[in-house]
């Protein structure tokens, strides 16, 4: 295994540590496959009582997926690399979500995008004072994926739509309110808790250690968010924001206007489908409909160019205004894939 991830047994625990702090622990394809293999190996291992997942560095648990290679292959006309990456990643996400033993994750700093798929599907998700969790994919022409549409769909009221299209960052109190985390514990107490989990295999140690979380800023504005984001489509939401005179509406609109309109329109649909179906595999399958087409038909490559490659922050989106994206364009990105649909067999290891 490369130096990007450290997988081992430690006492009663299966241990996964992301070790790319200079890259904010961004997930490579190799890391995804290594995590998936560990989940398969440990699921039935009687010596492994629980999993502990953490990361090196203070800045990030995992700030997302390693998207530069997707850009390089996609601009060369190779869309299969990205599709293979997402297939393997989503299978790992489903395995994490459905893992039959407790999974404790320690989410310092940034947990975004692909990091949510590793860190926010466990049973015991722990945040501290530096934690900042977000789903910023619409900013690069993607949708909240890695099962994020299901977490957003399960969030109270319309927080899911709000968080999914504005990419707002959640501190510890907000992350717990929105369902991305479960426990608050100051980070200087994490090493002792990890040591106890590894020594004893007793997941209740998390409950004993946890403290009351900081107040959630979202809680105070949820009623307004619920009203502003209740529209049937993204166009309805934008229209109402543009005709609402409030600080929240102006701030949300400013965030939305930076993101890819087609991606946001699809994100709203995916969040609502996930809310209605409430099944991780269905949510991932729906997300894959979009991501498998994102480079060839969507704004993904342009989003990466503007944000990461050229860094000019002036993307030229296919549809310039979220209020005017045709319904047919949304349908084309989210229609069934037929024989290319995402599956969840052991073929994920090949």
| pLDDT at 215 (0 to 100) | 97
Instruction: Give the three-class secondary structure for 7.
Output: strand
Domain around 175: 5-349
Number of domains in the chain: 1
| pLDDT at 346 (0 to 100) | 54
Edge-to-edge order in the sheet of strand 60-62: 60-62, 110-112, 132-134
Mean pLDDT by 10 residues, the chain (350 residues): 88 98 96 98 98 98 91 95 96 98 98 97 98 98 98 98 98 98 98 98 98 97 98 97 98 98 98 96 98 97 96 96 97 98 67
| pLDDT at 2 (0 to 100) | 65
CA distance 84 to 289: 13
Report the CATH number at residue 289: 3.90.226.10
Which residues does 125 contact at the CB level (< 8 Å), separation at least 6? 104, 105, 107, 119, 180, 181, 182, 183
| pLDDT at 65 (0 to 100) | 86
| pLDDT at 347 (0 to 100) | 44
């Amino acid at each position: 295994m490369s130096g990007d991830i450290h997988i081992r047994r430690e006492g009663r625990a299966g241990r996964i540590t992301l070790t790319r702090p200079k890259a904010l622990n961004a997930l490579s394809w190799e890391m995804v496959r290594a995590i998936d293999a560990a989940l398969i190996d440990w699921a039935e291992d009687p010596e492994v009582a629980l999993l502990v997942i953490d990361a090196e560095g203070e800045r990030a648990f995992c700030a997302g997926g390693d998207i530069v290679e997707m850009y390089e292959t996609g601009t060369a006309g190779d869309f299969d690399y990205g599709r293979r990456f997402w297939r393997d990643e989503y299978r790992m996400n489903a395995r994490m979500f459905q893992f039959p033993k407790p999974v404790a994750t320690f989410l310092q700093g940034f947990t975004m995008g692909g990091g949510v798929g590793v860190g926010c599907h466990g049973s015991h998700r722990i945040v501290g004072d530096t934690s900042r969790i977000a789903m910023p994919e619409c900013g690069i022409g993607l949708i909240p994926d890695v099962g994020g549409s299901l977490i957003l769909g399960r969030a109270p009221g319309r927080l899911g739509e709000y968080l999914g299209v504005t990419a707002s960052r959640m501190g510890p109190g907000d992350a717990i309110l929105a369902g991305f985390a479960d426990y608050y514990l100051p980070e200087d107490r994490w090493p002792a808790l990890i040591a106890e989990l590894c020594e004893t295999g007793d997941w209740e140690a998390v409950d004993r250690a946890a403290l009351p979380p900081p107040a959630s800023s979202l809680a105070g504005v949820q009623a307004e968010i619920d009203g502003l984001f209740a529209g049937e489509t993204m166009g309805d939401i934008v229209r109402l924001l543009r005709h609402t005179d409030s600080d929240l509406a102006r701030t949300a609109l400013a965030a939305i206007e930076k993101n890819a309109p087609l991606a946001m329109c699809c994100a709203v649909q995916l969040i609502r489908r996930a809310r209605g179906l409430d099944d991780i595999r269905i949510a991932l399958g729906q997300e894959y409909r979009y991501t498998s087409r994102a480079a060839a038909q969507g704004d993904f490559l342009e989003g990466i160019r503007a944000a990461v490659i050229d860094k000019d922050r002036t993307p030229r989106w296919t549809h310039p205004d979220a209020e005017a994206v045709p319904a047919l364009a949304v349908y084309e990105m989210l229609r069934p894939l037929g024989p290319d649909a995402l599956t969840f067999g052991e073929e994920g290891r090949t």
